[in-house]
Amino acid sequence: MKNVIIIPADGSDCRVHTLTEDEDEMRFVRKIVGGYFEVIATHDPTITLWANEDGLRLNLPVNKRALGFAHAGTLVVGDVILMGAAYENGDTKAVPEFYEYALGAKA
């Protein structure tokens, strides 16, 4: 099991979601971001940011809280998921607990 943080674009509260061993991680990501996803580069190598890959074309709203994690000049739109860094095989780690507190994320 590992915790991830859902950061809604509408400014509502961030939520912690615990992914279980039998939960399909990629299906969960597609459900939250609303379609196919992309990983957005961040300033912190311990985290990854997952967003809708067609978000700009779909005119999804800017996610102001998630902008702070992305590299300068990267526009982040729609609901996103903050996860830990990825292992070489593509699996992800839990998001560092610090971010749950920093974002005021609720379980």
pLDDT in tens, 15-60: 999 999 899 999 999 999 999 999 998 999 999 999 999 999 999 9
* Confidence (pTM): 0.93
Q: Using an 8 Å Cβ cutoff, are 52 and 60 in contact?
A: yes
Site of tokens 């749950």: 100
Whether the per-residue pLDDT at 65 is higher than 90: the answer is yes
DSSP symbol at 68: T
pLDDT value for 89: 86
- Residues in CB range of 58: below 8 A, 6 or more apart: 34, 35, 52, 78
